[in-house]
Structure 1
Amino acid sequence: MNAGSVPAAEGEMKRRLGVSDAVVIGLGSMIGAGIFAALGPAAGAAGSGLLPALALAAVVAYCNATSSARLAALYPQSGGTYVYGRERLGAFWGYLAGWAFVVGKTASCAAMALTVGAYLWPSQTHAVAVAAVAALTAVNYAGVQKSAFLTRVIVAVVLAVLAAVAVTALTSAGADAARLDIGPDATVTGVLQAAGLLFFAFAGYARIATLGEEVRDPARTIPRAIPIALGITLAVYTLIAVAALTVLGPAGPADTAAPLTDTVRAAGASRLVPVVRVGGAVAALGSLLALILGVSRTTLAMARDRYLPHTLAAVHPRFGVPHRAELAVGAIVALLAATTDVRGAIGFSSFGVLAYYAIANASAWSLTEDEGRPNRLIPVIGLAGCAALAFALPVSTVVSGTAVLVLGAALYGLRKLRTGNAGN
């Protein structure tokens, strides 16, 4: 009897997802976030160095993905690096990874909800964002299989829209390959900052690892699904970035809140603008769906260990999902979506997620050959890359992100004093 056919024990979730389901969930969270939310801010930071920044973000993401895949195969449980850090480095580092993930990705959820509102109804951005959070929380509550099915539909729609944008731009009379040249405006600091912002877009493969308790044959499924999702996303990002730059030039994407609509407009295809706007909203919905899914699973894992209220560890007897964690995450995200802005949320999220993956790479370094250790250079490059990109972000983001991590560490210390258990 395989893992997919074994009934879930009480308090455990069912293993329902295969490779294709896991890949699609990863794609749903990456593609929407990157193209429709992070491209503009990244272009503003990098200028003509946007493509090198994209390449740098991809290298760091690849190292993180490889480290995460090896760890997820060894520890196929909900929680991702929260579990890996705890098992490999000690309870504190696992906790800090979980704290960074939950806080950072909650900000990501808010950013995606606000992106939905900005594309669908700009004058009512916050109201639409809150409604989107409520609707997708209900979908996730009904079960992960329904979430995977809806994400398949969303990914198909978004890829079709992006293909139309790329073909229209690259075949237009206004396309000029000379606009891809790297000029003096591309500074090292700007490229690093842009790579940090673009990393926000690549981080969706974490959803695959955090679903470790819900995939069939995780030792095989997770290491296959993560690089497939990352590779497809990189190809799409590169194609769209090239298309936007050849039509708008280096300054074009940075000067607009919706660079892809400006791209098709500059290419002489204004009729596609409404289609791109719908595509942007659908893409953000896909990201939001997968993000809420991932944050709730890490919340579940931390609640099981009583680092968060234990009541959040409950798994619904019928739907097999952490329903209380789902509702709690949905409520917090809805509050943030009603009160925050997109750009600040992206930067804050990037800092938290880069801290999370720094711990993942440190955990992967501790693996032995028998445990599937990756090439030693991979966790080294991943750890160094995470640190460099995190501290290249805007100063305000670095200060606030560091303050939140310190707060998390203080809460851990208070819990340790209260329980008197030095092992927790």
Structure 2
Amino acid sequence: MAGTVPTGRQPELVRRLGTGDAVVIGLGSMIGAGIFAALAPAAAAAGSGLLLSLAVAAAVAYCNATSSARLAARYPASGGTYVYGRERLGAFWGYLAGWAFVVGKTASCAAMALTVGAYLWPGQAHAVAVAAVVVLTAVNYTGVQKSAWLTRVIVTVVLAVLAAVVVSCLTSGAADPSRLDVGTDAHWTGVLQAAGLLFFAFAGYARIATLGEEVRDPARTIPRAIPLALGLTLVVYAAVATAVLTVLGPDRLADTPAPLTAAATAAGPWGQAGAGWLVPVVRAGAAVAALGSLLALILGVSRTTLAMARDRHLPHALAAVHPRFKVPHRAELAVGTVVAVLAGTADLRGAIGFSSFGVLVYYALANASAWTLTPAEGRPPRLVPAVGLTGCLLLACTLPVSSVISGAAVLTVGAAAYALRAGPRR
């Protein structure tokens, strides 16, 4: 039967993560990606409607988070929507969700690695990006508890830096609240496209679901951790976006590759003239945030790779679990290798658009899976998966044309590979 769980004995991971660990991993994924990578291209698309785009992205993300939390509590295994789609919709849809996640989030990994390079050493961004991937893959290899501990440190540092930026901007003489007004440059197509790009940042709560096999008491922990991580991230996003817009305005925000650095330069610390010590602190914070996001992303992609390898949709050798560290070490090495290659060759903004398309398809399938739950299985209100599914498909279609074409092409290749593999058995 297409939707059944494989009956053979599989290598098992260890449940070590509590609610706090899961929330921190989600925060590490979302905050680094959104503030330092997606804010400027989103402003370029939405103009003065940037905050509207943030609200749209948050609404869709809430629906996705609710659907994912209910499904993860029902199916607490590594793989996220790959598992949910397989169990609720059939083997092909589970495979397609897993494929969309792996390719989309692999692009996200490359984007985060390139963000590290752009802030630390702009002239050698690709080389720094590759080095970051190698180091963090080694960290993940030694165990998920070390990854959670390091992510906790990174999130603390980044939140402190962002708080300094917000206070500096809002207390600066350069701040102009009128820059928050929605002007004639804001059109619904641009607002939706920006929401799709910002969704790239909100999708970090998927790390919590894909780590379901390593979470203690998943039926309680996951439904608590996902909305908590999402809510905290939304508060941070709204505060930072508002503060930066009041100083730079939408046009300057869209034109700068490092918007928080530009805002710190324009505002100065706590309203004083000149950026002083805050600019280098912001640069360091951006690099640390991207490292935290990259760490959690590699963690999540490797777990979905593990789940697909268990079902032989990817090479079965990738399903191995290290006897000492209890991690999917071959999957982590394979993901790290692919990401390192992309980080050495990819374009940052192109990677964000491509990733957003894949992730939106992934969550569309998560909402479709949640729709099939019964009340006894913890189904959310019907409106939640309906809005989530519609919102994901709408935002995916309004992304930049190049992202839609390339994303659809890669999904088609994945579907064709599945058909070729399954065809002889039909």
Give the TM interval when normalised to the shorter protein: over 0.9
For residues 217-265 of structure 1, the C-alpha deviation after alignment (integer angstroms, 9 at most, x for no partner) is 0000000000000000000000000000111112121010000011111
Return the alpha-carbon distance in structure 2 between the equivalents of residues 321 and 172 of structure 1. 48
Return the alpha-carbon distance in structure 1 between the equivalents of residues 280 and 40 of structure 2. 19
**Counterparts of residues 105-254 of structure 1 (less than 5 Å):** 105-254=105-254
- Whether 2:280 is the aligned partner of 1:274: answer yes
TM-score (norm 2): 0.96
Structure 1 residue 173 displacement after superposition: 1.1
For residues 342-386 of structure 1, the C-alpha deviation after alignment (integer angstroms, 9 at most, x for no partner) is 000000000000000000000000000000000000000000000
Among candidates 413, 418, 422, match of residue 412 of structure 1: 418
Q: 1:6 corresponds to which residue?
A: none
Return the alpha-carbon distance in structure 2 between the equivalents of residues 180 and 115 of structure 1. 27
Q: 1:304 corresponds to which residue?
A: 310
For residues 94-130 of structure 1, the C-alpha deviation after alignment (integer angstroms, 9 at most, x for no partner) is 0000000000000000000000000000011000000
Return the alpha-carbon distance in structure 2 between the equivalents of residues 10 and 366 of structure 1. 27
1:213 aligned counterpart, secondary structure: helix
For residues 44-74 of structure 1, the C-alpha deviation after alignment (integer angstroms, 9 at most, x for no partner) is 0000000000000000000000000000000
Structure 1: runs of 5 or more not aligned: 1-8
Among candidates 285, 297, 300, match of residue 291 of structure 1: 297
- Whether 2:395 is the aligned partner of 1:389: answer yes
Q: 1:5 corresponds to which residue?
A: none
- Whether 2:356 is the aligned partner of 1:350: answer yes
Return the alpha-carbon distance in structure 2 between the equivalents of residues 397 and 129 of structure 1. 22
Structure 1 residue 10 displacement after superposition: 6.5
Is 2:10–2:310's contact at 8 Å kept on the other side of the alignment?
A: no
Structure 2: runs of 5 or more not aligned: 1-8, 270-274
Return the alpha-carbon distance in structure 1 between the equivalents of residues 335 and 249 of structure 2. 40
Is 2:34–2:198's contact at 8 Å kept on the other side of the alignment?
A: yes
Return the alpha-carbon distance in structure 2 between the equivalents of residues 309 and 14 of structure 1. 23
Return the alpha-carbon distance in structure 2 between the equivalents of residues 305 and 156 of structure 1. 38
Return the alpha-carbon distance in structure 2 between the equivalents of residues 141 and 327 of structure 1. 8
Q: 2:6 corresponds to which residue?
A: none
2:129 aligned counterpart, secondary structure: helix
Is 2:77–2:211's contact at 8 Å kept on the other side of the alignment?
A: yes
**Counterparts of residues 6-85 of structure 1 (less than 5 Å):** 11-85=11-85
Q: 1:330 corresponds to which residue?
A: 336
Is 2:320–2:330's contact at 8 Å kept on the other side of the alignment?
A: yes
Number of residue pairs aligned between Structure 1 and Structure 2:
412
Please tell me the residue identity of whatever aligns with 2:375: E
Return the alpha-carbon distance in structure 1 between the equivalents of residues 75 and 252 of structure 2. 45
Identity %: 78
Structure 1 residue 268 displacement after superposition: 2.6
Return the alpha-carbon distance in structure 1 between the equivalents of residues 331 and 410 of structure 2. 21
1:193 aligned counterpart, secondary structure: helix
Structure 1 ranges of 4+ moved more than 2 A: none
